[in-house]
Amino acid sequence: MEIQKLNDLVSQTRRDILRMVHKVNSGHPGGSLGCTEFLVALYNEVMELKDGTFDMDGKNEDVFFLSNGHISPVFYSVLAHRDYFPVEELGTFRLLNSRLQGHPTTHEELPGVRIASGSLGQGLSVGIGTAQAKKLNNDSNLVYTLHGDGELQEGQNWEAIMYAAAKNVDNLIATIDFNGQQIDGSTDHVLNMGDLEAKFSAFGWDVLHVEKGNDLEAVIAGLKEAKSKTGKGKPVCILLHTVMGNGVDFMMHTHAWHGKAPNDEQLEIGLSQNPETVGDY
Amino acid sequence: MKKYTYTEKKDTRSGFGAGLAELGRTNPNVVALCADLIGSLKMDKFIEENPNRFFQIGIAEANMIGIAAGLTIGGKIPFTGTFANFSTGRVYDQIRQSVAYSDKNVKICASHAGLTLGEDGATHQILEDIGLMKMLPGMTVINTCDYNQTEAATIAIAEFEGPVYLRFGRPVVPIYMPKHTETEHENKFVIGKAIQLTEGADVTIVATGHLVWEALQASEQLEELGISAEVLNMHTIKPLDAAAVLESVAKTGCIVTAEEHNFMGGLGESISGVLAKNNPIPQEFVAVNDSFGESGTPAQLMEKYGLNDKAIVAAVQKVIKRK
């Protein structure tokens, strides 16, 4: 897809995120806005997907798992614009009887979602399992996962990180949303995780940084570089440097908008900074 | 009254190992995972015959449950193996979110359940796992009584679509249920269908797991006392065969439930719910009375905590007086 079209999708996705959380006065805009370029790039430029169809097994196509399920607004918007379900359904986010639950779930059979997430730290193990199933099935497609950086404080991740390297799960690309923020403050303040690159490397992963995680072209280049590192015996980790709340000036560089919705006035400011492109839902 | 005898004793976990080995030969989608307890879970044969379909996870049960959930995406049928304590309490949230809520076809196979784990003591003797698992929407909970039934259940759950908790144990116990190959047998294993082992008129005894044999022993002693007991083998705790319970108590008018588990959250509690809604009759519980276990031999522990034939006989005598 042309870069302009992708950037149009990024702007539209940011509008969707703001409008979704504003409508129900709940949800998580900060991390969603920070990961918009990544998910738009992944689904529209990087992943090999079977168009116009969704099945749970995901055989012979790339599979993505969102481990930090609270950034569901960006996930839902990207899935909808990739035609997994009608864009209009974004208006049901967090409403009673909606398939768009506060955190993603398979329970309501929403196309595009293969695992429930929200309770943190579980997505990497799931991704490893599917990556190993792909190997058993002689399926050469890849598994992608996304995790918050604060989420790495959950111990299950480190069980999974150790296992993936030991068992040469090299058809897996795990991306860490490296924004340095979590609910109670900066990750350094809450629980300093030290040198994450050194830690992943020491555990036996191939690690790369994407320094400009909110620059679409840099994200695409980083994902393609990561893809080139697969199949070489090591799992691959991307440390994606993003800005929480990116694209809405008053939400940037703070943890304050992790799980808080904008009011009417704030919504208008946010929307004015992200013009409508492919159309509001 | 029908008498049950045995010629051989084996551990139920070996029945799991035999069932898993057979699945390895008959169902190419079955894969197995273990958290550093291959020998204890009797998974050796499956691994020897299907090395590519076995995943040694190491001592990392949370990761094991997550990987199992992931393996279902791609069509595999994962069987996880570790002790009951580490299969449930340790990984409750992983099972809740990644397996049960996500409706993944994972078979959680748990050995060394209950007091009969023995000398290792209370850290390993989980008595709350049935309760933890039955509380999860969509989870099927099975507790088998002997080698043959465990083998049959292992094979049956592979055919069943959905998450299952299969609970078995460590000690050698009599083998008295039919082989899974005897498909025409009246006592064959069907998920969710209780097996009536003896017919009786005075009391219903519903038992699960290792307590089924104790219930049969108790029923013979009760016969000598002039009490006719109907024994049901309730291998599936969820979904519970409520119809079988109600049909039996309609005849007998009282019930004793028996299980190697805390009375809270167990089989007896599930049956109380059925009775309260349909036919409130006297019930006595043979179960652990809200305590942890301790070190000891299995027989010593079952005696001390009141989980044997003697305890069932005493409970029957008590419940009959309450009619």
Q: Is residue A193 part of a domain?
A: yes
Taking an 8 Å cut-off on Cβ atoms, the answer to whether B70 and A155 are in contact is no
Only one residue has tokens 């005696």, namely: B303
Can you say how many angstroms the Cα of residue B265 is from the centroid of all Cα atoms in its chain? 14
Q: Please return the burial class of A96, using the count of CB atoms within 10 Å of its CB with bins 0-12, 13-18 and 19+.
A: exposed
Residue of B nearest to A134 (CA): B74
Q: Report whether B125 contacts B291 (CB < 8 A).
A: no
Number of domains composing chain A: 1
Encoded amino acid at B27, one letter: N
Chain A contacts of B71, Cβ < 8 Å? 129-130, 132-133
Per-residue pLDDT at A120: 98
- Sign of the Cα torsion A90, A91, A97, A101 reads positive
Bridge partners of residue A239, in order along the sequence: A176, A209
Residues of chain B short of pLDDT 70, as ranges, are none
Can you say how many angstroms the Cα of residue B66 is from the centroid of all Cα atoms in its chain? 23
Q: How far apart are CA A257 and CA A262, in angstroms?
A: 9
Q: Is the pLDDT of residue A157 over 90?
A: yes
Question: Is B69's Cβ below 8 Å from some Cβ in A?
Answer: yes
Per-residue pLDDT at B225: 98
Q: Is residue A221 part of a domain?
A: yes
Taking an 8 Å cut-off on Cβ atoms, the answer to whether B70 and A106 are in contact is no
Backbone angles phi, psi at B71, to 5 degrees: -65, -25
Identify the CA nearest to B75 among candidates A139, A77, A259, A232: A139
User: Which of B55, B73, B93, B96 to mutate against chain A (most A CBs within 10 Å)?
Assistant: B73
Which tokens go with B131?
A: 């309760």
Q: Is residue A175 part of a domain?
A: yes
Find the helix or strand (DSSP H, E) in which B157 lies. Answer: helix B147-159
Q: How far apart are CA A95 and CA A101, in angstroms?
A: 8
Q: What is the CATH number of the domain that holds A258?
A: 3.40.50.970
Taking an 8 Å cut-off on Cβ atoms, the answer to whether A122 and B73 are in contact is no
Confidence bin at A1 (pLDDT 50/70/90): confident
Residue of B nearest to A113 (CA): B102
Q: Is residue A196 part of a domain?
A: yes
Q: Helix (H, G, I), strand (E, B), or coil: what is residue A96?
A: coil
Per-residue pLDDT at B183: 87
pLDDT single digits (tens) A81-134: 999 999 999 999 999 999 999 999 999 999 999 999 999 999 999 999 999 999
Can you say how many angstroms the Cα of residue B94 is from the centroid of all Cα atoms in its chain? 21
B284: which residues sit within 8 A by CB, 6+ positions away? B255, B256, B257, B315, B316, B318, B319
**Helix crossing, B61-72 with A123-136: angle to 10°?**
50
Confidence bin at A51 (pLDDT 50/70/90): confident
Per-residue pLDDT at B1: 82
Catalytic machinery residues of B:
61
Eight-state DSSP code of residue A172: E
What's the domain range around A100? 3-272
Confidence bin at A250 (pLDDT 50/70/90): very high
Residues A262-269, mean pLDDT to the nearest whole number: 98
Chain A contacts of B104, Cβ < 8 Å? 115
Instruction: State ipTM.
Output: 0.97
Taking an 8 Å cut-off on Cβ atoms, the answer to whether A133 and B75 are in contact is yes
The domains located in chain B, with CATH, are 9-174 (3.40.50.970), 195-321 (3.40.50.920)
Q: Is residue A122 part of a domain?
A: yes
Question: Is B71's Cβ below 8 Å from some Cβ in A?
Answer: yes
Q: Please return the burial class of B7, using the count of CB atoms within 10 Å of its CB with bins 0-12, 13-18 and 19+.
A: exposed
Q: Is the pLDDT of residue A52 over 90?
A: no
Q: Is the pLDDT of residue A64 over 90?
A: yes
Which tokens go with A81?
A: 């614009």
Question: For a pLDDT cut of 90, what percent of chain A falls above it?
Answer: 98
Q: Is residue A279 part of a domain?
A: no
Per-residue pLDDT at A132: 98
